[in-house]
Amino acid sequence: MGCLPTKHVRDSPRSLGVHEAVAVSAESSCEKVDLPDFLNIATGTPFTVSEVEALYDLFRKISNSVIKDGLIHKEEFHVALFRSKSKKKQNLFGDRVFDLFDQKGNGVIEFGEFIRSLSVFHPDTPEEQKAAFAFRLYDLRQTGFIERHELKEMVLALLDESNLDITSDAVEMIVDTTFDQADVNRDGRIDQEEWNVFTKDNPYVLRNMSLPYLKDITMIFPSFVIHSEVSEAD
Amino acid sequence: QPASMNAFELISLNRGLNLDNLFET
């Protein structure tokens, strides 16, 4: 049997104030490991402390897949997203999602950043938050607008990464149609306000901003349940 | 028909983000 961490905090952040947050430490017979402050990290997210603990199992797996330093590097993120180390390293959407998860912009995703970013994709998170995240995602050059050439670039990237076969004329038509619908003031770019209206009128465009997996985290990671039972026995 | 969709619908429907894969590692 391997080294199992001892967890001391089991309460939901919804039942405790932030000031009561207790740093979590872990000890095992093999090594001493500093665990994140699960309670503080869960606060302000739709996740319970138990769910954050379960997601820590996932985080550890991803963050130690290539460089074993407990941080998710872009290469590790790509491996997790595309399920293959041989897949090309460049991917427009993968790179954009990584950059948004890397909130400090220091080239790695820390556990707190991982949880806060994933919380946007929780099915219970308000649509407004999902729309705001999606806007930042699609605003490729971070100009505060989704521009026509950015949208075309995304469509072409999607076609490149999928089996969809669409002619260049059809791509132009798709982009034109989208701007007809979303660019209300006809200035050739979609601003945040136009985006908010557009996503309210067309909520299906935010479908990729919800991950049903996040509703049932502890069922997906049964190893966490084993850890917890050991902890409570302690 | 993809050509009749708007671009964001196309991206959304085709799992452009691949985040589901995080949970299948």
The Cβ-side half-sphere exposure at A118, using a 13 Å CA radius, reads: 27
Quote the pLDDT of residue A72: 97
Quote the pLDDT of residue A20: 35
Mean pLDDT of A111-119: 97
Quote the pLDDT of residue A6: 45
DSSP annotation of A214: G
| Amino acid at residue number A213 | Y
Q: What was the ipTM of the complex prediction?
A: 0.86
Give residue A234's pLDDT band: very low, low, confident or very high (50, 70, 90): very low
Alpha carbon distance B8, B25 (integer Å): 27
pLDDT tens, position by position, A165-190 = 889 999 999 999 999 999 999 999 99
Question: Taking an 8 Å Cβ-Cβ cutoff, which residues of chain A contact chain B?
Answer: 58, 61-62, 65, 80-83, 93-94, 97, 121, 137-138, 151, 154-155, 158, 161-162, 164, 166, 170, 173-175, 177-178, 181-182, 198, 202, 204-209, 211, 213, 220
pLDDT at residue B2 greater than cutoff 70 = no
Pairing of strands A146-147, A108-109: unpaired
Q: Which of A129-133, A193-197, A204-208, A213-217 has the lowest mean pLDDT?
A: A213-217
Exposure b/e, A58-75, CB count within 10 A at least 16 = b: bbeebbebbeeeebbbbe
pLDDT averaged over every residue in chain A: 83
Point out the residue among B3, B17, B20 whose CB comes nearest to the CB of A174.
Answer: B3
Quote the pLDDT of residue A91: 84
Quote the pLDDT of residue B17: 72
Dihedral sign for Cα atoms in the order A25, A112, B12, A181: positive
Q: A69 vs A6, which has greater pLDDT?
A: A69
Give residue B3's pLDDT band: very low, low, confident or very high (50, 70, 90): low
How large is the angle between the packed helices A92-101 and A148-161, nearest 10 degrees? 110
pLDDT at residue A18 greater than cutoff 80 = no
Helix (H) or strand (E) run with residue A198 in it: helix A192-201
Quote the pLDDT of residue B5: 79
Give whole-number Cα distances, A44 to A24, A38, A125, in Å: 18, 12, 11
Copy the structure tokens of residue A163.
């089996």
Alpha carbon distance A65, A76 (integer Å): 6
Nearest residue in chain B measured CA to CA from A216: B23
CA distance, residue B2 to nearest chain A CA (Å): 8
Quote the pLDDT of residue A140: 96
Of B14, B5, B8, B19, residue with least CA distance to A203: B8
Quote the pLDDT of residue A82: 83
Copy the structure tokens of residue A105.
């912009």
Alpha carbon distance A112, A23 (integer Å): 13
| Amino acid at residue number A165 | D
Strand partners, A202: none
Copy the structure tokens of residue A223.
């190893």
Mean pLDDT of A208-234: 65
Q: A186 vs A82, which has greater pLDDT?
A: A186
CA distance, residue A20 to nearest chain B CA (Å): 31
Q: Mind giving me the DSSP string for A54-111?
A: HHHHHHHHHHTSSS-SSSEEHHHHHHHHHS-SSS-S--HHHHHHHHHH-TT-SSEE-H
Q: Are B18 and A138 in contact (CB < 8 Å)?
A: no
